[in-house]
């Protein structure tokens, strides 16, 4: 049985939940789903310029989890940008 998932603290909940290439209807695009946690890590690391250690403290989780979320989020955003995909931010929590 897997270990129960810990609760991470997310302080940013965006009003806009879709980003897509201009001029392309959303219904014709493939979508990449970004979790709230991945978005929060990207925001803390790249917008607020915090270290991974500081991000881990703010989100009350381990630094290895922050690294995993950061890698996953960056991969999804990069894939969407290079392949012309829409980005959906899942409203979980």
Total structural domains in the chain? 1
CA distance 58 to 26: 34
Q: What is the CATH number of the domain that holds 64?
A: 1.10.10.10
85, 31 Cβ separation under 8 angstroms: yes
1 lies in some domain = no
Q: Give per-residue pLDDT as tens, 3-33.
A: 666 666 676 777 788 999 999 998 999 999 9
13 lies in some domain = no
Give the pLDDT of residue 6.
63
78 lies in some domain = yes
Considering only CA atoms, give the Rg of the chain.
Answer: 14
Q: Give per-residue pLDDT as tens, 36-81.
A: 899 999 999 999 999 999 999 998 899 999 999 999 999 999 999 9
Q: What percent of the chain has pLDDT over 70?
A: 86
Indicate if the pLDDT at residue 92 is higher than 80. Answer: no
């Amino acid at each position: 049985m897997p270990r129960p998932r810990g609760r991470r603290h997310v302080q940013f909940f965006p009003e806009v939940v879709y980003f897509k290439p201009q001029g392309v209807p959303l219904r014709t695009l493939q979508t990449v789903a970004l979790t709230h946690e991945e978005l929060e890590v990207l925001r803390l690391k790249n917008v607020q310029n915090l270290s991974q250690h500081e991000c881990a403290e703010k989100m009350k989780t381990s630094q290895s989890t922050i690294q995993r979320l950061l890698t996953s989020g960056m991969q999804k955003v990069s894939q969407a940008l290079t392949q012309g995909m829409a980005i959906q931010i899942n409203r979980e929590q």
